[in-house]
Amino acid sequence: MRPSPLGIAVMIISGLLMVLFARQKQRLGVALQSTALQVDAAESWTCAYMAWAGLGGTLGVWALGCTWMDPVAALAIAYWVAREAWEAFEEVRETEGPEPQ
């Protein structure tokens, strides 16, 4: 099975752009004290991670013939997203405080 050169190019470009966007959003979010922009930066980091993990899985299957690399990349993405979601949940829980009685 051969990967699509266009698909590989899209993953590389997406990975690079998302890292650039995430850094800029993070800097601007801190400078403006904008929680929304800082959260959007975290989402951009997640997109970058997904692009690089997808690229690694695709190239691993194609170049090395390791058919297990694509599912491992999918598990790595699932772990990353679950961890980010848990951190967001914990942050909201800490800032909201306990439920009123």
Instruction: Establish if 90 belongs to a structural domain.
Output: yes
Q: What are phi and psi of 33, to 5 degrees?
A: 55, 45
Helix (H, G, I), strand (E, B) or coil at 79: helix
Q: How many folded domains does the chain comprise?
A: 1
Q: What pLDDT, on the 0 to 100 scale, is given for residue 67?
A: 87
Q: What pLDDT, on the 0 to 100 scale, is given for residue 26?
A: 95
- Per the structure, the complete domain to which residue 64 belongs is given by 5-96
Instruction: Establish if 101 belongs to a structural domain.
Output: no
Q: Report residues of the chain scoring pLDDT below 70.
A: 1, 97-101
Q: What is the pTM assigned to this prediction?
A: 0.76
Instruction: Establish if 51 belongs to a structural domain.
Output: yes
